[in-house]
Amino acid sequence: MAGAGTAGLKDATAVVGIGQTAFARRLPESEKALACRAVLAALDDAGISPAEVDALASYTMEETDEVEVAKAVGFGDLSFFSRVGFGGGGSCATLAHLAGAVVTGQATVGVAWRSRKRGSGPRPWTDTAVQLPTPAQWTRPFGLLRPADEIAMLTRRYLHEYGATRDHLFNVALACRNRANQNPAAMMYERPLTRDMYMTSRWISEPLCLFDNCLETDGALACVVVSAERARDCRRRPVYVHSAAQGLPAQHHGMVNYWNDDPLTGPAWTAARHLWKHADFTPEDVDVAQIYDAFTPLVPLSLEGYGFCGRGEGGAFTEGGALEIGGRLPLNTGGGGLSEAYVHGFNLITEGVRQLRGTSTAQVPGAATCLVTAGEGVPTSALLLRN
Amino acid sequence: MLTPVVDDDGALFWEYAARGELRVQACAEAACGELRFPPRPCCPHCHSFAGEWRRMSGRGRIWSYVFPHPPLLPEYAAQAPYNVIVVELAEAPLIRLVGNLVSGPGAPLNSVAPERLRIGARVQVVFPQDGDGAEAVRLPRWVLERP
């Protein structure tokens, strides 16, 4: 029974529709057009008319806004619309905000979407005209130009402090690639990865090589959130939002997290505290995880932050096939940002929904619980989904 | 090469750097006095808006480092692979500055062999001298204490 307050969020709403475009290095249509296609596909999947939509949620570093989507696809009057900051940290928060809106009676049918042509469009770090003074003035003039450089700096310190190795990072890359090799929608569907390929590939920002970096993708996705009661009337098996959290730690600095007491902890730790506080189960009960993978090291960091292992144990956790199907924690079962598509983590949400519907291309038998995270290293968000 | 996009909080850091001085912002309240970096309008500990700029010894240790490879902005690509380091200051190890390890003031970003870099290596800040290139803003860089 839904009610106001944080306890009222638990299982009170469900994802009832998901939709997406193709994923490719280059798609011909505009981001706006792709957004419309994904949104309409999600609503069709839900069996809900666009005219019934009264809530929207999206996140920043996106060109398409609420007005454009609404007038193109023909939404009704909107009574809730939210835009979450910090790009890839906001993916899961879109569902959290929609769930909150539905539970508190601000809306009844919510749509969250992401549309980006990051594959065919310019790399944001090449724009020298528009840079925020902070933290850029402390990093970019010295040649720390890209997120890959910023995360690589933390990665080397991580490897040093914990004795983790490139093989631990490779384990992450391999698991995502193996799942992509099972997923016809994945950009890397027909491109297997070997250890030799990984260890001999070119550096992007040493210690991160090519395969430690996510794809560059054109694509769009969307999902539909309604109350648990309404979900019973939709055509797909409901996937409930069991718990949701955002996280911005004290003295956080974004990806250039070099300036606080404990740089190897980040937003995942903060989001996790709230996420688990309001959940009926624990990390041990999670059947499958969709963990934001812009870079391979974000996965061991997230494993630590979300409580699957202790500090510094994230690398060792990946050993012995733990992240593969049949392992302790199957990871990014559609291929993730590393091998399916990089659309700032939204495809992790849709894959989580598929797992709990039983329709994944790499189905974890009997999957009942799924953790989905947004980006570690930036103000972040996370979801626990269940069926 | 990129020059810092300076804001109100950072302006004095760069003014002191132009004079060859490494200074870090600190709370000016006698009862607090906490250093903070990056600079900001007020003290997160005691909330005072009174700040000062404290001169540092210029000594530190490498906390971490990376070697960027292309694709990069053109002037950086020309020096790639180069190093970028994070230095923890000797007298305040929680104060860390991003910089580059170079062979001397005005030397290029790739002037130190990669194998010379290690976490924990002791470094000393250097500032470019007059005539060391066309930098409109003087960037602090670092040299190994034991070259």
Distance (Å) of CA A15 to CA A99, A112, A285, A352: 9, 10, 21, 10
Q: What is the pLDDT of residues B81-100, one digit of tens each?
A: 999 999 999 999 999 999 99
User: Quick one: tokens of A156?
Assistant: 């080397």
Distance of CA A108 to the CA centre of its chain: 24
Known catalytic residue at A189: no
Q: Is B97 close to A253, i.e. CB distance below 8 A?
A: no
Task: Search chain B and give the residue with CA nearest A205.
Answer: B68
State the pLDDT at residue A169: 98
Contact residues on chain B for A152, CB-CB shorter than 8 A? 66, 68
**Strands A13-20 vs A55-59: parallel, antiparallel or unpaired:** unpaired
Q: How far is A297 from chain B (nearest CA, A)?
A: 14
Q: How far is B8 from chain A (nearest CA, A)?
A: 9
With beta carbons less than 8 A apart as the criterion, state whether B34 and B26 touch: yes
Burial class (CB in 10 A: 0-12, 13-18, 19+), A194: exposed
Q: CA B97 to CA B85: how far, in whole Å?
A: 8
Q: Is A128 close to B82, i.e. CB distance below 8 A?
A: no
Contact residues on chain B for A124, CB-CB shorter than 8 A? none
Q: What is the DSSP string of A227-290?
A: EHHHHTTSSS--EEEEEEEEE--TT--TT---SSS-TT--HHHHHHHHHHHT-SS-GGG--EEE
| Most B-contacting residue of A131, A137, A156 (CB-CB within 10 A), to test interface | A137
Q: Is B66 close to A153, i.e. CB distance below 8 A?
A: yes
Task: Search chain A and give the residue with CA nearest B65.
Answer: A153
State the pLDDT at residue A5: 47
State the pLDDT at residue A2: 45
Per residue of chain A (387 residues), what is the pLDDT tens digit?
Answer: 444 444 589 999 999 999 999 999 999 999 999 999 999 999 999 999 999 999 999 999 999 999 999 999 999 999 999 999 999 999 999 999 999 999 999 999 999 999 999 999 999 999 888 777 788 999 999 999 999 999 999 999 999 999 999 999 999 999 999 999 999 999 999 999 999 999 999 999 999 999 999 999 999 999 999 999 999 999 999 999 999 999 999 999 888 999 999 999 999 999 999 999 989 999 999 999 999 999 999 999 999 999 999 999 999 999 999 999 999 999 999 999 999 999 999 999 999 999 999 999 999 999 999 999 999 999 999 999 999
State the pLDDT at residue B132: 56
Q: Which pLDDT band, with edges at 50, 70 and 90, does B129 fall under? A: confident
Q: CA A240 to CA A129: how far, in whole Å?
A: 43
Q: Which of A141, A154, A253 sits opposite B2 (nearest CB)?
A: A141
Q: Which of A59, A162, A240, A292 is catalytic?
A: A292
Would you say the ipTM is above 0.90? yes
Q: Is A133 close to B97, i.e. CB distance below 8 A?
A: no
Residues on chain A bordering chain B, Cβ-to-Cβ distance under 8 angstroms: 123, 126, 128, 131-146, 148-149, 152-154, 156-157, 160, 202-207, 251, 253, 256, 258-261
pTM of the model: 0.96
Q: Is B4 close to A258, i.e. CB distance below 8 A?
A: no
Known catalytic residue at A342: yes
Rounded to the nearest integer, the mean pLDDT of chain B is 94
Q: What is the CATH number of domain A6-121+216-231?
A: 3.40.47.10
* Count of other CB atoms within 10 angstroms of residue B7: 14
**Strands A203-206 vs A80-84: parallel, antiparallel or unpaired:** unpaired
With beta carbons less than 8 A apart as the criterion, state whether A14 and A238 touch: yes
Q: How far is B6 from chain A (nearest CA, A)?
A: 6
